[in-house]
Amino acid sequence: MATFDKKTAFSLEDAIDYAGGGVVSKQVTKNKGGNITLFSFDKGQGLSEHTTPFDAFAQILDGETEINIGGEIFHLTRGQSIIMPANIPHSLKATERFKMLLTMIKGE
């Protein structure tokens, strides 16, 4: 897993590559308040339904995805974002290959 140096500028989209037929993740930073992770998904790849105990903010950096939050489907493309609320089941599928920045914020 690559690490990111503090006080060093970088391009989010260029900081992670696609893997044919796979999913790639790179943790940008993590502390007791939450974490920030980059993901790339090849077309057809995804994450199965799960819940987390804190809100998750997904920012689409490239491509297209379908995100299911509590049974409601959202189609997102480059430049769009969505908040997946804590304790609500969610999943995602790459309708085209895509990259996202995921920010997880722990609740009080």
**pLDDT tens across 64-102, in order?**
999 999 999 999 999 999 999 999 999 999 999 999 999
Residue 58 clears pLDDT 60, i.e. is over it:
yes
**Does the residue 33 lie in any domain?**
yes
Q: What is the pLDDT of residues 20-54, one digit of tens each?
A: 999 999 999 998 889 999 999 999 999 999 999 98
Q: What is the pLDDT of residue 7?
A: 80
Which domain does 37 fall in, by range?
25-105
Q: What is the pLDDT of residue 108?
A: 64
**Does the residue 15 lie in any domain?**
no
Backbone angles phi, psi at 37, to 5 degrees: -135, 140
**Does the residue 1 lie in any domain?**
no
**Does the residue 65 lie in any domain?**
yes
Please report, for the domain that includes residue 41, its CATH number. 2.60.120.10
* Count of domains observed in the chain: 1
**Does the residue 43 lie in any domain?**
yes
Q: What's the rounded Cα separation, in Å, for the pair 26 and 49?
A: 21
